[in-house]
């Protein structure tokens, strides 16, 4: 729709590609538990350029996950806006938000969040299955499988395709989760403490994978962590303090 409007002959000037892939403006979020109101985000402004790798650092409970969920459209903010590639996405109807989550945004979590009943390969295929209906899936199946297998092989899981999550180590599970986040071809990867449950070595492996993706494919990444040493792997670090973002 957007591109059709842009290319229409009536358009006077083609705007320059947005300098920012993800734009967050004055985002506010408060949680209400009983009488107590906890104001977690108090006007967050945040920009992510295409191909950028940014770390968001903050103390535990500072609202990093909350921010990431808002950017990933898993939750609604109380105020403020989120734009993806110049288009406002936080006020879209549920259906469109579902589609954006499926196609444009990949997410990785601290607790991996793999589906325990599915094998590694099936977990990676899940976003594509969600995307396609039954008939489309029958058509796309072999291509999708090839793509998912390639991704898993690239992450060193060629031998683990048909293992269930509980048969995998933490580092392996997180790599499956990253493959799942990538298989739909997103423009943006949101990672919420992806190394939080891992030992230093496998955590380092995960960070290497993310860095490599950013470098070789120009994938835009937001990495949330409370660990300054991990945050340093990114191009840029922002700090979440008292519900606001300040550049480190």
Partner 1 sequence: MYKLLLCWRYLRTRWIALASVISVTLGVATMIVVNAVMAGFSHEMQTRIHGILSDLVFESHSLSGFQDPAWHMEEIRRAAGDDVVGMTPTVAVPAMLNYQVRGQWITRQVMLIGIDEATHAGVSDFGRYLQHPANRGQLSFELREGGYDTVDSQAGGEEPTRPALEGAGWPHRRMRVERERLWREKLEADRATDPAGGDRASGGGEPVRSVDRQVDAVLAATDAAAREAAVEPPARPADPFRQARPAEQGTRMDPAKEQFTGAVPGIGLASFRDASGTDRFLVLPGDDVKVTFPTAGTPPKAISDTFTVVDFYESKMSEYDSNFVFVPIATLQKMRGMIDPQSGLASVNSIQIKLRSGADLDVVRDRLRKAFPADLYAVATWKDKQGPLLAAVDMEMAVLNILLFLIIAVAGFGILAIFFMIVVEKTRDIGILKSLGARAAGIAGIFLGYGLFLGLVGAGAGLALGLAIAANINRIRAGVEWCTGQRVFDPSIYYFFKIPTIIDPLTVGWIVAGAVGIAVASSVLPALRAARLQPVEALRHD
Ligand X SMILES: Nc1ncnc2c1ncn2[C@@H]1O[C@H](COP(=O)(O)OP(=O)(O)O)[C@@H](O)[C@H]1O
The site for partner 1 (CB under 8 A) is made up of 69, 72, 74-75, 94-95, 98-103, 107, 109, 111, 113-118, 122, 126-127, 129-134, 136-137, 180, 184
Q: Tell how far CA 182 is from the center of its chain.
A: 9
d(CA 55, CA 230): 9
State how far the alpha carbon of 41 is from the alpha carbons of 89, 124, 134, 188, 228, in Å.
Answer: 18, 32, 41, 22, 21
Q: Is 243 one of the binding residues for ligand X (CB under 6 A)?
A: no
CB distance 189 to 221 below 8 Å? yes
Decide: is 63 part of the binding site for ligand X (CB under 6 A): yes
Q: Calculate the alpha carbon distances from 94 to 46, 48, 91, 97 in Å.
A: 24, 24, 9, 5
Query: x-or-dash pattern for Mg ion, window 40-79, by CB under 5 A?
Result: -------------------------x--------------
Residue nearest to Mg ion (CB): 65
Determine contact, residues 8/207, Cβ cutoff 8 Å: no
**38 is a contact residue toward ligand X (CB under 6 A):** yes
127 binds, among ligand X, Mg ion, partner 1, none (CB under 5 to 8 A by kind): partner 1
Q: Are 48 and 236 in contact (CB under 8 A)?
A: no
Taking contact as CB under 6 A, which single stretch among the options 58-66, 137-145, 208-216, 229-237 is the one that binds ligand X?
58-66
6 binds, among ligand X, partner 1, Mg ion, none (CB under 5 to 8 A by kind): none
Q: Which residue is nearest to ligand X (CB)?
A: 65
């Amino acid at each position: 729709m957007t591109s059709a409007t842009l290319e229409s002959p009536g358009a006077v000037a083609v705007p320059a590609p947005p300098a920012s892939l993800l734009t967050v403006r004055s985002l506010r979020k408060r949680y209400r538990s009983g009488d107590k109101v906890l104001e977690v985000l108090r006007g967050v402004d945040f920009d992510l350029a295409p191909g950028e790798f940014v770390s968001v650092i903050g103390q535990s409970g500072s609202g990093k996950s909350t921010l990431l969920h808002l950017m990933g459209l898993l939750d609604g903010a109380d105020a403020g806006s989120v734009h993806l590639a110049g288009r406002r996405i936080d006020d879209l109807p549920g259906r469109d938000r579902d589609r954006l989550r499926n196609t444009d945004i990949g997410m990785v979590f601290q607790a991996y969040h793999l589906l325990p009943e599915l094998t590694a390969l099936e977990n990676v295929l899940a976003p594509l299955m969600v995307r396609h209906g039954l008939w489309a899936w029958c058509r796309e199946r072999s291509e999708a499988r090839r793509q998912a297998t390639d991704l898993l092989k690239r992450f060193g899981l060629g031998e683990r395709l048909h293992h269930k999550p509980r048969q995998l180590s933490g580092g392996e599970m997180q790599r499956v989760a990253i493959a799942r986040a990538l298989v739909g071809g997103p423009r943006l990867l949101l990672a919420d403490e992806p190394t939080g449950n891992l030992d230093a070595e496998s955590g380092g492996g995960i960070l290497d994978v993310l860095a490599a993706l950013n470098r070789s494919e120009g994938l835009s990444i937001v990495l949330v962590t409370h660990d300054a040493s991990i945050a340093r792997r990114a191009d840029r670090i922002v700090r979440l303090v008292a519900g606001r973002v300040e550049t480190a």
